[in-house]
Amino acid sequence: MKNIQKMDLLLALYISAIVCAELLGSKIFTLFGVNASVAIFVFPLTYTINDVVVEVYGKTRARSFVKSGFVILLFLFTFTLLATVLPPASRFKDTNDAYNQVFNKSQRIIIASLIAFWLSERFDVYLFSKIRQKLGEKKLWLRNNLSNFIGQFVDTTIFMFLAFYTPGSLGFIISLILPYWSLKCLFSLVETPFTYLGVRWLRKGEEI
C-alpha cells in the first residue's frame, strides 16, 4: 500500500513538472551566457523520474507515466485553446489581451512540443532499459546520465526543428540546439544524486 502511494506521488510530480514546463516555459532568461527557458529547471526531472521507475518497476510502468503525461498535455493544450478563444466578460476585456498573450501559443509550437515530448520520453525509457540489460544494476549514474543526455538531445533537436526550422536556417537551428542541450546535460548531472535517492526511497518497504 505504501508503494502505491509512492507511485502516486511520483506520477503527480511527473505531471506537475510537465505542466509547469508548458505553462511557465515561455519565459526566457540567460544562464551561463545561454538563453534558456525556465522550464529547464523542471523538465529534466521527468527523465529522472522515468529512470527511477524503470529501475524499480520496469519500462512498462514507466511508459504508462509517459502516456499519462501525453494525455495531460493534450488536455492542457485543448483547454488553453478553448480558454483563449472564448470572449471575455465585459468587465474583464481590459485584461483579455494580456491573458491571451501569456497562454496563447502558436499551433506549430504546440505540435512540436507534443511530438518532441512523446518521442523523447519513450526513447529515454527504451534506452535506459537497454543499457540496464547490458550493465545490470551496476553504474546507475552512468545509465541515468547516458540515457538522459541522448533522450534530451532527441527532445531538443525535434522541438527546435519542428518549431523554428525554415529553409536556409539549419545553422541557426544548430546554434540553438547545442547550447540548450548542454544546459540540460548539466542539470541531468546535478540531478544524479536524486536518482539514487529516488530508487532507494521507492524500493524501501517494497512489500505491499
Most confident residue range from 22-31, 173-182, 192-201:
192-201
Task: Give the pLDDT band (50/70/90) at residue 49.
Answer: very high
Q: What angle do CA 125, 116, 109 make, to 5 degrees?
A: 160
Tell me which residue has cell 501525453.
Answer: 70
Per-chain mean pLDDT for the chain? 89
Q: Sign (positive/negative) of CA torsion 145, 147, 153, 159? A: negative
| pLDDT of 34 | 81
Residue 207 has pLDDT above 70, yes or no: no
Q: Looking at residue 110, what is its pLDDT?
A: 82
Instruction: Out of 125-139, 146-160, 164-178, 194-208, pick the least confident.
Output: 194-208
pLDDT of residue 206: 63
Report which listed range, 55-64, 133-142, 171-180, is most confident: 55-64
* Per-residue pLDDT at 208: 45
Q: How confident is the model at residue 135 (pLDDT cuts 50, 70, 90)?
A: confident
- CATH class in words for 2-203: mainly alpha
Q: Which residues contact 153 (CB under 8 A, 6 or more apart)?
A: 177, 181
Residue 106 has pLDDT above 80, yes or no: no
- Report the alpha-carbon distance of residue 78 to residue 3 in Å, rounded: 33
